[in-house]
Amino acid sequence: MMGKSGKLMYLAMVVCLLLLQHKGEAIWLSLPPSGTKCVSEELHNNVVVLADYIIISDDHVHPTPTISARVTSPYGNTLHHKENITHNQFAFTTTEAGNYLACFWADNPGSGSLSVNIDWKTGIAAKDWESVARKEKIEGVELELRKLEGAVEAIHKNLIYLKSRESEMRSASETTNARVAWFSIMSLGVCILASVLQILTTEIVQHNVEPFAFLIVISSLVNDVVRSLKQHLSEVAALV
């Protein structure tokens, strides 16, 4: 017979499992007569996805209208595509990290507004634990421990994925900042050069300076601007 401490431990494990495991989500979509509605979820590699969807209609007189469905990966690969259906399901294991998109639309634009119920499960929620229990002949606390182990492993993988995404975003932000700094310096250099050329042109017109002397002055000015830009760019590169 399980003692008081054993019951408390079992209850704690169940609570942790409920808090940690990936949940299955029931989603309701109201499809317009024309157009498409989509749901998406950001997933990392090697995540099991299982979903069932069905049309819910209050009209019991006319036949249930049909819909089409398409599921695509982050890189645009089609994972599931069905047409003229009232219900179906799809299952796959992710091979790409990113946003997975499931889109639904009515086949007949004049069918009016439709409601679609989607039972979307990912990760540990999509695993058939009853089959696992029968196959490995486990039950009770041992089965709950196995579920908890799967939940912890899924959370660990998700944290690693989020950490890698954070690193990628930080790298992209630093690259963007460097490019903006280079562009700002180049824009400043062009503005300075244009202003100086305007001043020199005015001086030449007013004092009738010879063209050869003008070219020498321009060449010297360009060299000074280039040296100044190189110095500023090296400072920006050092900061980045």
Question: What's the mean pLDDT in 64-77?
Answer: 91
Give the H or E element holding residue 175.
Answer: helix 141-207
Unique residue bearing structure tokens 């997933």: 43
Q: pLDDT for 145-193, tens place per residue?
A: 777 777 787 788 778 878 888 888 888 888 888 888 888 888 887 777 7
- CA–CA dist 213, 207 (Å, integer): 12
Q: Which two tokens stand for residue 133?
A: 């229990």
Q: Which residues neighbour 71 within 8 Å (Cβ) at sequence distance 6 or greater?
A: 78, 79, 80, 81, 90, 92, 100, 101, 102, 103
Question: How sure is the predictor about 80, in pLDDT bands with cuts at 50, 70 and 90?
Answer: very high
What is the number of domains present in the chain?
2
Q: Which residues neighbour 111 within 8 Å (Cβ) at sequence distance 6 or greater?
A: 33, 65
| Residue 165 counted as domain residue | no
**Same structural domain for residues 182 and 92?**
no
Question: How sure is the predictor about 52, in pLDDT bands with cuts at 50, 70 and 90?
Answer: very high
Q: pLDDT for 226-235, tens place per residue?
A: 676 666 666 6
DSSP 124: G
| Residue 20 counted as domain residue | yes
Classify the C-alpha dihedral 93-24-148-159 as positive or negative. positive
Q: Which domain holds residue 181?
A: 173-239
- CA–CA dist 52, 80 (Å, integer): 12
**Same structural domain for residues 112 and 58?**
yes
| Residue 137 counted as domain residue | no
**Same structural domain for residues 177 and 117?**
no
- CA–CA dist 79, 97 (Å, integer): 14
Last residue of a domain, one of 106, 127, 148: 127
**Same structural domain for residues 39 and 119?**
yes
Region of residue 209 (phi > 0: left; psi between -120 and 50: alpha; otherwise: beta): beta
pLDDT at 102: 94
Question: How sure is the predictor about 82, in pLDDT bands with cuts at 50, 70 and 90?
Answer: very high
Q: pLDDT for 93-142, tens place per residue?
A: 999 888 999 999 988 876 667 889 999 888 777 776 677 677 777 777 77
DSSP 61: S
Phi, psi of 72 (to 5 degrees): -125, 155
